[in-house]
Amino acid sequence: MSIRSYNAACVRACALRNALLLPQDWEVLGAMSGSGAIIERLKTRGILGGSINGVLAAERAAHESVIRNASGLLRFLKGASAELVRCFVRHYDLLNIENVVQRIHTFPDEGTRPQARFYDTGPFGLLRSSTLDAVTNYPALGHALRRSPFAVAFEAALQRYRQDEDAGRMIERIEIAFFSNWVAAAERCGIRVRVAANVSPMVVFFRAKSVESAVRLKVYRKAESMRVGRWLSLVAPAARADACLELLAGGDRPGLAEDVLAALLPAEAIPPQLDSRPARGKWGVLGRTVMHATLGAAHGITFDINFLTGFLLRQMYQARELTALLESKDADVSVPLSAPGELER
């Protein structure tokens, strides 16, 4: 029954594998001296279209390929599996909403607002970029979201915003509402998110995202434990969530994110240290852990939801890594390369 449900979508995902960079590609990109050379290399590999010019356009195109490929897979799926894959597209709706909130909050005077950059999520998304281009205030944003899963969370967040004008708190409420829906979609597909021993790609992704948000809230925003606990309770039973909160109570320190994630995952799910270089950025180790989880589902065609979601997660994290690489090269900042391809050695 699984083969019958997923065969067409999994065959298509196999055909899309050329959208993923190989380990040798990452080595070449990391050795290049500028963002322009990287973009040209990506064009020759077929990762970017020939008309793409500039760092911002290249970053947007890399992420839009995730939208495009997820939308292609949705044409072969239905029911719970379609809802789960559709969340990959709607994740970019979430980023669009965050962009609008930050713009309205930071530039209340409409004449001073910078040009927005939106992802058009197409027929499988909720919000087209043209819809959000016209949004210049919170009531207009609420109107745009009125029939979406974000509507209730946005209205609750807006009430809070009127009290403290905290845009970060507004985004937090919308974001956790979205990820709650995504976790629920995964569970309807039979992915048991809160089972500790489960190390399927989506489960590891949800746990890494929860740790990222929990650490950011507790360490940088000094949020109360209840807000932090909401993220952890999405992916863990109460005992493990409490253990994570105890770790976070100790304050920031090197390796904190890794330790919190280790409290949520079995030891075999944590990738070995690749070498002595640190992972890029604060969340590099979390991204590598997600990529490590996808590799087991990436070989052959297994005709199940883990194969499909593993492919999309690999591409999504590749786009994130390319974004970091392009921006660092454009700014002429030397950073260690912790590319997803290195895990395939």
Look at residue 334 in the predicted model and tell me its pLDDT.
65
pLDDT, position 141: 94
pTM exceeds cut of 0.85: yes
Task: Give pLDDT, residue 276.
Answer: 34
Alpha helices in the chain (DSSP H): 2-15, 23-31, 35-44, 55-74, 79-106, 129-133, 138-144, 151-164, 167-188, 201-215, 225-233, 238-249, 256-262, 284-295, 305-330
Summarised one tens digit per residue, pLDDT across range 45-81 is: 889 998 998 999 999 999 999 999 999 999 999 999 9
Low-confidence ranges of the chain (pLDDT < 70): 1, 110-111, 115-116, 273-283, 334-345
Question: What pLDDT is recorded for position 337?
Answer: 53
List the domain boundaries for the chain: 2-344
Q: What is the DSSP string of 193-223?
A: TT-TT---HHHHHHHHHHHHHHHIIIIIS--
Residue given tokens 């005077």 in the structure block: 109
Quote the pLDDT of residue 343. 44
pLDDT tens for 110-125 read: 667 776 678 999 999 9
